[in-house]
Amino acid sequence: MKNIDFHAHILPCCDHGSDGSKTSFSQLTLAREASVDIICATPHYYGEKENVGSFLERRKVCFERLMEKRKDSLPKILTGAEILAFEGIERLPDLDKLCLENTNILLMEMPFNHWSGKLVDSVGALCESGDYTVVLAHADRYSSEKVERLLEYGALIQLNAESLSHIIVKKSLKNYIEWDTVYALGSDIHLLGDGYNHWKKFRTRHKDLFNRIMENTNSLLF
C-alpha cells in the first residue's frame, strides 16, 4: 500500500504554494521524511482568472522545472489541480483535462462563504454524470451540513492532516471516515508550513484511521 498525499502545492511558482525550486525540493524532502510515496501536485485553478489551456501550459512549465533535478529517492509526483467550484462548472470546456493524472478525479474546492443552490447543483451534476469522481478538497473546513449535501450526490471527501492530528478527532470528521466517504488525505503544504508535521502526528496518533484512508486512496487510484 502506498502512502499518498492527495493535495499539495509543490510546483515552483505555479501558485502561492512554492516560491521556487529550492522550496519545492525542501517540500519533497519533508514529504519523504513523512514516509510519503506519492504526491499529487494540485495547484489552484480559478476559472474566473484563466482558461484551462493557459493553466495547463503554466503547470507544465513549472512541473518540468521541478523534474529537471528531481532525485529518484523523492516521492513520485502526479499532476492535478485544486479547482474552485463555480455555478455552471459542469459546462467548463476541457474540464476533463483538470482531472488528476490518468484518472477521472476532480479535486474540488468549495467557496468558504455561501453555497448557492445552483452551485451545489452544478457540483452535484458532475458527481451524477458518471464521467467524474468528485473529491471535496479539505472538507474539514466546511460545515458538516454543507458537506452532507454533496455527499448525497455521491461526492467523496479529502481531509487535511492538520484536522486529524489532534489527540481527539472531531466527531464530524470521524463520522465521515466511518461512513466510508473519506478517500484522500492531504498535507495541503504551502511553502514550508507544518503540513507534514501534522501528517506524521496523525499517522502516529491514529494509525487505524490513517491506514483506512490510505486503503481507500489506493483503491481509488490503482
CB 39 within 8 A of CB 75: yes
pLDDT for position 59: 98
Which has more pLDDT, 71 or 15? 15
Band of residue 208 on the pLDDT scale cut at 50, 70, 90 = very high
> How many angstroms separate the CA atoms of 214 and 222, rounded?
12
Query: Is a pLDDT exceeding 90 seen at residue 31?
Result: yes
pLDDT for position 72: 86
Interval 116-148: pLDDT, tens: 999 999 999 999 999 999 999 999 999 999 999
- Average per-residue pLDDT for the chain: 97
pLDDT for position 201: 98
pLDDT for position 71: 82
Compute the average pLDDT of residues 188-215.
Answer: 97
User: In the β-sheet with 38-41, what is the strand arrangement from edge to edge?
Assistant: 4-8, 38-41, 76-79
Q: At the topology level of CATH, where does 4-221 sit? A: TIM Barrel (3.20.20)
Percent of the chain surpassing pLDDT 70: 100
Query: Is a pLDDT exceeding 90 seen at residue 26?
Result: yes
Predicted TM-score of the model (pTM): 0.97
Q: Which set of grid coordinates corresponds to residue 132? A: 467524474
Compute the average pLDDT of residues 67-93.
Answer: 94
Domain locations in the chain as residue ranges? 4-221
Query: Is a pLDDT exceeding 90 seen at residue 69?
Result: no
- E strand or H helix that includes residue 157: strand 156-160
| CA nearest to 41, candidates 101, 108, 104 | 101
Q: Which set of grid coordinates corresponds to residue 67? A: 523534474
pLDDT for position 111: 95
The Cβ of residue 134 has, within 10 Å, a number of other Cβ atoms equal to: 23
| Cα separations in angstroms, 36 against 181, 194, 199 | 22, 15, 9
Interval 140-185: pLDDT, tens: 999 999 999 999 999 999 999 999 999 999 999 999 999 999 999 9
The string of DSSP letters for 20-56 reads: SHHHHHHHHHHHHHTT--EEEE--EE-TTT--HHHHH
pLDDT for position 70: 82
Q: Is 143 exposed, middle or buried (0-12, 13-18, 19+ CB in 10 A)?
A: exposed
pLDDT for position 82: 98
Count the alpha carbons within 13 Å of 72 in the hemisphere toward its beta carbon.
Answer: 0
The dihedrals phi and psi of 183, each to the nearest 5 degrees, come to -115, 5
